[in-house]
């Protein structure tokens, strides 16, 4: 394993000076330099990389990008629902989703058989993430993870773990870590998996011997299904329904966490009436209040809604996926 790691990174670094990127215009601080060294040594100790080469990748082959910090500091998920929804619920995105489903109907059906996740949910996630693979991000993943791991204190620990996973992923899958591009948060490929998710949940769904989320839609589709299935997707179970509220007791059931902590019966007792029939009263449920254009929208969300938030920890994201999936399903039928 050590010889493999050394050979791969040596080959990457031997590609020449053209791989060295210009400075972002800011001097690397002594603290950041020390952090590079500590990170590289830890990677070498835990996973048999050569520390010096990891340091060079960080110091010379990647750079701090301020626009990445700006983007993660102002995510779209901070918008109110009535402004977030139109980003994704557009006629063109719906039509493209229908076309994507038709093109990959066989793969999507196989994913549903294996993981229980319906085609419209898989298609909607890929539609929200990359518009069916068309927009996969403009930042080099190495730059994004280097920037957030060492120059974004609020989540530095998380992104250092992702950077470590990224180097491991590059070694396992045999790609040059300087080349892939993705989102400002380092998400990659058609389904926008972060490094740790790629390593854990990506699957070779077309059985050709590799897990390729960049250029093989079958692997991307299968990996989304596997991700949701592994996080507890319940086949044929409801996701969320609109509700009506009366009185004021329901206000006490607005929870901070995303996981359902109440039951349908408890919501009903507090004055929340689902507009559609739901399972028995003991089923776990959560009251979600969204800021709509004409006032608050009240939703009863269930376990499958929570599973979607494991992909992106935002109720706005999950609701956009749900509503886009319904539009795509209607168009497909």
Give dist(CA 124, CA 225) in Å, integer.
12
DSSP state of 300: E
Helix (H, G, I), strand (E, B) or coil at 245: strand
What sections of the chain are H helices per DSSP?
2-13, 30-47, 51-59, 66-73, 81-88, 91-103, 105-115, 119-130, 141-151, 156-173, 195-201, 217-230, 264-269, 303-309, 315-332
Catalytic residue among 120, 129, 162, 327: 129
Which single residue is written with the structure tokens 């909607």?
124
If we measure between CA atoms, which residue out of 164, 241, 225 comes closest to residue 199? 164
Among 294, 288, 296, 293, residue whose Cα is nearest residue 322: 288
Catalytic residue flag (residue 129): yes
Annotated catalytic sites, by residue?
129
């Amino acid at each position: 394993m050590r010889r493999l790691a050394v050979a791969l990174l040596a080959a990457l670094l031997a590609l020449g000076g053209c791989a060295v990127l210009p400075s972002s215009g800011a001097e690397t601080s002594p603290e950041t330099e020390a952090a590079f060294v500590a990170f590289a040594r830890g990677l070498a100790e835990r996973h048999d990389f050569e520390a010096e080469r990891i340091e060079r990748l960080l110091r010379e082959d990647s750079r701090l990008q301020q626009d990445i910090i700006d983007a993660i500091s102002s995510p779209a998920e901070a918008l109110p629902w009535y402004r977030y929804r139109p980003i994704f619920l557009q006629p063109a995105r719906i039509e493209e989703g229908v076309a994507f489903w038709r093109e990959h109907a066989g793969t999507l059906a196989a994913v549903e058989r294996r993981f229980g996740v319906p085609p419209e949910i898989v298609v909607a996630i890929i539609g929200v993430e990359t518009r069916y693979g068309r927009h996969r991000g403009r930042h080099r993943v190495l730059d994004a993870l280097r920037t957030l791991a060492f120059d974004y204190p609020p989540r530095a620990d998380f992104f250092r773990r992702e950077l470590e996973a990224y180097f491991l992923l590059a070694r396992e899958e045999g790609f040059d870590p300087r080349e892939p591009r993705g989102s400002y948060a380092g998400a990659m490929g058609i389904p926008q998996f972060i490094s740790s998710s790629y390593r854990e949940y990506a699957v070779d769904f077309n059985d050709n011997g590799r897990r390729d989320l960049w250029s093989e839609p079958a692997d991307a589709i299968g990996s989304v299904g596997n991700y949701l299935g592994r996080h507890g997707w319940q086949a044929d179970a409801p996701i969320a329904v609109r509700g009506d509220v009366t009185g004021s007791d329901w206000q006490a059931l607005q929870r901070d966490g995303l996981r359902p902590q109440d039951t349908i019966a408890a919501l009903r007792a507090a004055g929340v009436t689902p507009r559609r029939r739901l399972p028995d009263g003991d089923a776990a449920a959560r009251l979600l209040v969204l800021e709509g254009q004409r006032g608050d929208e009240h939703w009863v969300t269930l376990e499958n809604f929570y599973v979607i938030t494991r992909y992106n920890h935002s109720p706005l994201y999950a609701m956009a996926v749900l509503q886009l999936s319904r539009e795509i399903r209607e168009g497909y039928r």
